[in-house]
């Protein structure tokens, strides 16, 4: 009658009496040899490390290094609320909701909204400024960017000061404003490469291009963090 031995005692199946004792002894010797001299772990010879562990560590470092919103959407509700909502939905579907900041409704009562907006932009890796037909001039023809307290102006100025990548997202057939149409503190926006996001049937194709561009910026940020990561800290 056959009997299978437990792991660590034997790696064989014994059959009979005399042959069983012989096989058990051989199995015990092999098991002891494996315990004393475990098989070597295959490593990445070029790097001298285990590839799977290295990848996991890189991913964890990148995640830990960016705990706040990576993408800030700056827009005017009266100008582009509907299409910005669609853009936001595509971005959170791809990057996750915690990685995208869209609205400023969370400004605490009594807080200085200028500082709150400045701090929020400081936490992002990429700022998208959605520009529609009424982004520059409102319904009554007033140039809103001339107001130093304008939310959009504060957000873009904060990103420019920190050299945060700014991507103009052009909707409703709008184009980049002319240099003379912007306050001096915003004129660098004219030289930022933008992207049109058109209505259907081109919307998702344009969003795919935008997402690839954002991923390029986030990858650069992640690589920079990894290059400066000190595991001893």
**DSSP output for 4-43:** EPPTTT-SSEE-SSHHHHHHHHHHHHHHHHHHHSPPPPP-
CATH topology of domain 68-227: Rossmann fold (3.40.50)
pLDDT of residue 186: 97
pLDDT of residue 103: 77
Place of tokens 């997402």: 211
What residue ranges of the chain have pLDDT lower than 50? 2-27, 30-31, 33, 35, 41-67, 226-227, 229
CB 66 within 8 A of CB 221: yes
pLDDT of residue 164: 96
Cite the beta strand spans of the chain per DSSP E: 3-4, 13-14, 71-74, 100-101, 126-131, 166-170, 195-196
pLDDT of residue 58: 41
The two structure tokens encoding residue 54: 């290295």
DSSP character string of 60-72: HHHHHH--S-SEE
Put simply, whether the predicted model's pTM sits higher than 0.75 gets the answer no
pLDDT of residue 179: 96
């Amino acid at each position: 009658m056959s009997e299978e031995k437990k792991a660590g005692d034997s790696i064989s199946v014994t059959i009979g009496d005399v042959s069983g004792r012989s096989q058990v002894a051989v199995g015990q010797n092999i098991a002891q040899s494996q315990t004393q001299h475990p098989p070597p772990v295959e490593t990445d010879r070029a790097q001298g490390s285990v590839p799977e562990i290295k990848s996991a560590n890189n991913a964890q470092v990148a995640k830990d290094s960016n705990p706040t919103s990576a993408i800030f959407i700056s827009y005017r509700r009266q100008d582009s609320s509907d299409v910005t909502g669609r853009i936001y939905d595509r971005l959170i579907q791809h990057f996750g909701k915690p990685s995208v900041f869209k609205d400023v409704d969370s400004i605490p009562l009594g807080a200085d909204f200028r500082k709150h907006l400045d701090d929020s932009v400081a936490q992002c890796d990429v700022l998208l400024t959605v520009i529609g037909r009424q982004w520059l001039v409102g319904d009554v023809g007033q140039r809103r960017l001339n107001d130093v307290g304008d939310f959009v102006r504060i957000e873009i100025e904060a990103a420019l000061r920190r050299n945060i990548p700014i991507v103009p997202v052009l909707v409703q057939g709008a184009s980049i404003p002319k240099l003379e149409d912007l306050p001096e503190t915003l004129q660098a926006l004219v030289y930022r490469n933008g992207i049109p996001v058109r209505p259907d049937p081109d919307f998702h194709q344009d969003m795919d291009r935008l997402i690839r561009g954002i991923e390029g910026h986030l990858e650069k940020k992640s690589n920079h963090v990894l290059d400066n990561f000190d595991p001893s800290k």
